[in-house]
Amino acid sequence: MPYSMKPLACDPARVKGMSERLIISHYENNYGGAVKRLNSLEDQLTSLDFNTTPNFVVNGLKREQLIATNSMILHEVFFAGLGEESGPDNVLQEALDRDFGSVERWRAEFVAMGKAQAGGSGWVLLTYSPRDRKLVNAWAADHTTTVAGGTPILALDMYEHSYHMDFGAKAADYVNVFMATIDWRSVRQHFDEAGGGGK
């Protein structure tokens, strides 16, 4: 069954500090590109005879399938996390206090991780780990390297395509804008779906 793009989860005209042009380009070209690439890879894998296909071909296709799948999912979490200025509700505040010491401590670490990736690429993820029953900030490269078994509930895309059109090389400014536009209702919904809200 082919994958399809989910509707854009945020209103690109209402994300303060990011242009509508940037958000729509990111959604159509990068998220849309991941979905198209995943469908192409699925088609290729469906047509393979695994008994005769060389191992390196299988390895390459399965690696690219994982990258495209996670790119699709992380972009969905990223766009869902964009909204208007708000703050975490009592449940999330309590979880962030418990797992990081304070909301401010969580924010400082998350921001520092984003700014540390300036000029590079990857993701900063607020992830719920059901194994440890806690929230963690996770660094993710290549759309794949992150907490095994964890569920991202907030995603900051630090690939250059996510900010260059508006911010040029000023990745730190983009991180600051992102932090001011988090849709905490969406974060809470992801938290509950991951099983953290009922802890």
Please write the tens of the pLDDT for every residue from 107-125: 999 999 999 988 778 999 9
Task: Tell me, yes or no, whether 117 and 39 share the same domain.
Answer: no
Q: Which residue has the higher pLDDT, 121 or 82?
A: 82
CATH number at residue 27: 1.10.287
Neighbouring CB atoms inside 10 A of 161's CB total 14
Looking at residue 141, its pLDDT comes to 83
Looking at residue 79, its pLDDT comes to 97
The residue range of the domain holding 130 is: 90-193
181 neighbors 18 (Cβ within 8 angstroms): yes
162 neighbors 174 (Cβ within 8 angstroms): yes
Task: Tell me, yes or no, whether 49 and 137 share the same domain.
Answer: no
Looking at residue 154, its pLDDT comes to 97
83 neighbors 185 (Cβ within 8 angstroms): yes
Looking at residue 142, its pLDDT comes to 77
What integer is the mean pLDDT of 75-103?
A: 94
Report the b/e string of 140-155 with b at 16+ CB within 10 A: beebeebbeebbbbbb
197 neighbors 191 (Cβ within 8 angstroms): yes
**What are φ and ψ of residue 190, in 5° steps?**
-65, -40
The span from the CA of 129 to the CA of 142, in Å, is 20
Task: Tell me, yes or no, whether 62 and 102 share the same domain.
Answer: no
Among candidate residues 60, 80, 100, the one where a domain is terminated? 80
Tell me which DSSP letter residue 6 carries: P
Looking at residue 1, its pLDDT comes to 60
Residue 5 belongs to a domain: no
pTM of the model: 0.93
Task: Tell me, yes or no, whether 66 and 96 share the same domain.
Answer: no
Residue 2 belongs to a domain: no
Looking at residue 61, its pLDDT comes to 97
Looking at residue 86, its pLDDT comes to 84
What percentage of the chain has pLDDT greater than the value 70?
98
Task: Tell me, yes or no, whether 57 and 122 share the same domain.
Answer: no
- Using CA atoms, how far residue 161 sits from 98, 152, 167, 199, in Å, is 34, 20, 10, 37
**Element of type H or E holding 97:** helix 90-100
Residue with tokens 């990011």: 18
- Using CA atoms, how far residue 121 sits from 68, 92, 116, 141, in Å, is 16, 28, 10, 7
Task: Tell me, yes or no, whether 62 and 103 share the same domain.
Answer: no
Q: What is the pLDDT of residues 1-24, one digit of tens each?
A: 699 999 999 999 999 999 999 999
Q: How confident is the model at residue 198 (pLDDT cuts 50, 70, 90)?
A: low
134 neighbors 199 (Cβ within 8 angstroms): no
For the packed helices 90-100 and 184-193, what is the interaxial angle rounded to 10 degrees? 70
By CB neighbour count within 10 A (0-12 exposed, 13-18 middle, 19+ buried), where does 4 fall? exposed
What integer is the mean pLDDT of 37-61?
A: 96
